[in-house]
Every structure is written in C-alpha cells, then in structure tokens.
Amino acid sequence: MKRLIEVLGIIFLLTAFHTPLLAEISPQEILAHADRARGNVAGIEWIIEMESIEADRRQERTLMVKARGENSLAEFITPPKVKGQKLLMIDRNMWFVKPGLSKPVPISPRQKLMGGAANGDIASTNYAGDYESTSITGDMVNGEPCYVLDLKAINKKATYDRIKYWVSKKRLVGVQADFFTVSGKKFKSATFEYHNNICIHDYTRPFVSKMIIKDAVIKNNVTTMSYGKVTIKEIPDSTFNLNLLMR
C-alpha cells in the first residue's frame, strides 16, 4: 500500500507540472492582453506601411493611425491619390471621410480595404469585446506553446464572424489566426510579429510590428502590414469627433 501511495503521488506531481494549466487565465483575459499588443491602450499612434500582391498587381498604402482604447482614426498619407482620406472607428461604428465629401460615409469594418486586409484590420484590436471563446486548447507555433481560442463574434460589427486565434502563453500576444465565414469556410490566415515595444506605467511590453495576411485559396495573394514609429501619447477627444473631421 505504501508503494502504491508513492506511485500515485509521483503521477500526481507529473500531471500537475506537465499538463497545460488552461484554467489559470480566462479566455477574455488572454484576449485583453493580446489586444493591448495590437493597439488597444489608453493612447497610441503608429504608422502602417501596407503592401498587397495579387496576381500581377501590386499596391501600396501608408497610413497614420491614432488610437485610444477601441476607438481609432486612420489617415492615408500615400500615395497622393488617397492622401487625406480617413477612416474613423468609434465603438465599432466606422465612417469614411475624404476631401470634397459633404458628409461622412458609413462603412463596415468587414469591407475590403486593400488586398487581403479589411477596414477593421487597421484599427485597434478589440477581440475581448467583439468575440466570445467557444473553446480553448493548446498547440505549438514555431516551438512556442500557445493557447488556441475558437472565437465567435458576439455582434455584427465585428470584423470577422469566426477566428481561430493562437496566443503565446509566455508573451500573451497573438501569433497566428485563421479567419472563417459564418458558414465555417476558411478564407484567409495571418501571422504576427512583435519587434516593437511600448512602455506603459514603467512596464515594457511587446507591440505588433508586422501582420502578414494570406489568401486561403490563392496562396500567392499576400498582404503585408508593417508597423513603425509607435508612440505612446495622449489622444484628445477631438480626434474622434466626426463633425470636426468634416471641416
């Protein structure tokens, strides 16, 4: 009996230390941490260099994004034909503004912006508020242990209906995602890099430096979003005032 108790004790210890402790942190906490590494902080500004390659067509765009929490304003800088155009997102409602328009145009975060990128992809990420996790498992991505969350949109304003999202257990940043239609068909995937850093309350944390989007059917269709000049700063209320943008 003594020997049996010793064996059971060893099995218990091995199980305790080698089984992924998925219950230690809730799915919403995982998403909230990952959201902060993709723009959902109290005040931040960054530049996005976009490049899309589809068949023989190559497109480029440069945008400046200012974000505060889930609200964001993106302004096109180049090329000249789109300079001054803006995309404003407030509480997941989105508008398009450009010089010469008499009033803002309501748009959807789901609409295609360029290549494989949707309008919502350039805004600050709010997966914690837009999705619920229907399951959570574990997996490895490039040798890194990850939480795998199956996310379902809880409102029609979310950029995607369903996402399979890999989040690093150690860094708590999203490293990979598959995007699905409401019928369950995968139509694109993305990988993320984090070579930027931001400092909030004397704590340095990683911030996204690149998002690479690949079409699920036409593998050569690739859209790359490179993030630079990331700056923590106060963003005033006027930045998100739709009436002021039309002046």
What's 207's domain CATH number? 2.50.20.10
Q: Is residue 2 assigned to a domain?
A: no
SS3 for the chain is: CHHHHHHHHHHHHHHHHHCCCHHHCCHHHHHHHHHHCCCCCCCEEEEEEEEEEECCEEEEEEEEEEEECCEEEEEEEECHHHCCCEEEEECCEEEEECCCCCCCEEECCCCEEECCEEHHHHCCCCHHHHEEEEEEEEEEECCEEEEEEEEEECCCCCCCCEEEEEEECCCCCEEEEEEECCCCCEEEEEEEECCEEEEECCEEEEECCEEEEEECCCCCCEEEEEEEEEEECCCCHHHHCHHHHCC
Residue-level pLDDT at 21: 45
- Separation between Cα atoms, residue 247 and residue 242, nearest integer Å: 9
**Per-residue model confidence (pLDDT) at position 56:** 82
Residue 79 domain-assigned (yes or no): yes
Does a structural domain hold residue 84?
yes
In whole angstroms, what is the distance from residue 238 CA to residue 89 CA?
A: 13
User: Is position 158 within any domain?
Assistant: yes
Mean pLDDT, the chain, whole residue set = 90
Is residue 18 a part of any domain in this protein?
A: no
CB within 8 Å of 186: residues ≥ 6 apart: 178, 179, 180, 216
Is residue 17 one of the residues assigned to a domain? no
Domain that holds residue 146: 26-245
pTM of the shown model:
0.88
Q: What total of structural domains would you count in the chain?
A: 1
In a domain, 122, yes or no: yes
Mean pLDDT, the chain cut into blocks of 10 residues (247 residues total): 42 36 79 97 97 93 97 97 96 92 94 96 95 96 97 94 97 98 95 96 95 95 98 96 87
pLDDT, residue 150, reads: 98
Residue 173 lies in a domain: yes
